[in-house]
Structure 1
Amino acid sequence: MSNHRIAGLTGAVLAGGQARRMGHVNKALVTVGGAAVIDRILARLEETCEHVMVIANDPAPYESRGLSVFPDAMPGHGALGGLHAALLNAPTEAVFVCGCDMPFISPALIRHLAFSIGDHDAAVPRDGYGLQPLHAIYARRIASLVPPFLVRGDLRMERFVAALNACILPPDDIAAYTEEAEVFFNVNTPDDLEQARAKAGEA
């Protein structure tokens, strides 16, 4: 698989969650496979995306990494608010968005999403559990579609995606990119963290 960076693609890590189920520990900074989760993510984004940035209302934990850090334009609206900030601040027309707690994101799948988006508003994978809107690419031009959802408190990413002209990649289409690791796995709880560390050890 090619290691070139995809021109016109920004990678954005959403790092604004409160991590209640992790006891308010910053999930981005816990270690998996000997590295902070966010550093695992950034390494993959930096080999894949032309630009990389972090969306976080507290920039302090990420400033040492030499990346641009942007706050939510409308704070307190979860991942959808983070997506809004990413779209507003991205220097490119396409933005790959992922959570800061996803240690196994797939550069190969990112490339497939970038190939698939075409003129669509988004390219979003769907596995056996449903849509995976936090391992997806969005067109920057849809930024203006987000605030109405935020204002009325309609914050489910899946509902926002349903309102778009999105390219939904079904399980069969993404199987080749997900068979080696659980690319959508996220670290929400201490038990999840132990599972992630075990998976990284197996890899």
Structure 2
Amino acid sequence: MSERALVNATGVLVAGGKSRRMGRDKRFLKVGGKSVFDRTLSLLMGTFVETVVVLAEPIDSLEVRGCRVVYDVIPNAGSLGGLYTGLLAASQPRIFAVACDMPFLEPEVIRFMAYFDNTADVVVAKLQGQFQPMHAMYSKRCAEFLKAMAERHDLKIQALYRTEALRVAVVGANDLSSLGGGLRSFQNINTPDDLTLADSAISDTP
């Protein structure tokens, strides 16, 4: 990774998922000999001035060094609850929220999103018609709206982007295609087949 200045935002690793389709805890999946959790945590710590890990509950076998660990303020609210908790915990006015199942995260893509529009409350990619809420920038202004969504059991983060009081900047495939690894940064692991393909791709990388 290049020795560039750290981004003045908080990197938030949302790592409390149920991993239903995978059938086992994604946090311990290994790709290229290293867990996806460790890969993501290292990348965030090397990119942002602060990194926070959000968990649903304590887990002894998960090793976290050099950053704060916080636990869901709103239980059973999925990724939306993790995002809300990360916003509350962050010392910076903006966060980059990411899930722990994305082995191809690219620092160049993350930095692009962080600097894409500093005035926006949300900077989110829309690829093939789908928003990517767990690879996106959020301002602390989003917290009150996420809390209200959780209270009414509306747990789809994408609904936040329709909030008229928030300024949302949407990044498209054309914006990302020229960046190194651009679109691949958003690829995640949902099934054992996804894991096999990801492991092969990373193992084959020089």
Normalised by the length of structure 1, the TM-score is 0.91
Query: Is the contact made by 1:97 and 1:135 (CA closer than 8 Å) also made in structure 2?
Result: yes
Give the equivalent residue in structure 1 for 2:159: 159
Partner SS, residue 158 of structure 1 = helix
Give the equivalent residue in structure 2 for 1:39: 38
1:116/1:180 Cα in 2 relative to 1: closer, same or farther (>3 Å)?
A: closer
Give the equivalent residue in structure 2 for 1:57: 56
1:35/1:143 Cα in 2 relative to 1: closer, same or farther (>3 Å)?
A: same
Mapped to 2, the partners of 1:64 and 1:127 lie a distance apart of 32
Per-residue deviation, 1:7 = 4.1
Mapped to 2, the partners of 1:103 and 1:177 lie a distance apart of 17
Mapped to 2, the partners of 1:114 and 1:64 lie a distance apart of 24
Per-residue deviation, 1:183 = 1.1
Unaligned runs of 5+ in 2: none
Which moved further from structure 2: 140-149 or 83-92? Answer: 140-149
Query: Is the contact made by 2:108 and 2:180 (CA closer than 8 Å) also made in structure 1?
Result: no
Per-residue deviation, 1:45 = 1.0
Superposed counterparts of 1:6-25, under 5 Å: 6-23=6-23, 25=24
1:118 is aligned to 2:118: yes
After superposition, give the CA deviation of every residue in 1:76-128 in whole Å (9 maximum; x if it has no partner). Answer: 01111110000000011110000011111111111111111321101111222
Cα RMSD of the aligned pairs, angstroms, is: 1.8
Amino acid at match of 2:175: D
Mapped to 2, the partners of 1:88 and 1:32 lie a distance apart of 31
Which moved further from structure 2: 87-96 or 175-184? Answer: 175-184
Corresponding residue pairs, total: 202
Mapped to 2, the partners of 1:19 and 1:139 lie a distance apart of 27
Query: Is the contact made by 1:95 and 1:139 (CA closer than 8 Å) also made in structure 2?
Result: yes
Give the equivalent residue in structure 2 for 1:30: 29
Give the equivalent residue in structure 1 for 2:86: 86
Query: Is the contact made by 1:122 and 1:165 (CA closer than 8 Å) also made in structure 2?
Result: yes
1:95/1:124 Cα in 2 relative to 1: closer, same or farther (>3 Å)?
A: same
1:183 is aligned to 2:185: yes
Partner SS, residue 85 of structure 1 = helix
Superposed counterparts of 1:67-78, under 5 Å: 67-78=67-78
Mapped to 2, the partners of 1:112 and 1:176 lie a distance apart of 11
Per-residue deviation, 1:180 = 6.1
Mapped to 2, the partners of 1:144 and 1:118 lie a distance apart of 20
Give the equivalent residue in structure 1 for 2:170: 168
Which moved further from structure 2: 112-121 or 56-65? Answer: 56-65
Per-residue deviation, 1:58 = 2.4
Amino acid at match of 1:36: S
Query: Is the contact made by 2:109 and 2:182 (CA closer than 8 Å) also made in structure 1?
Result: no
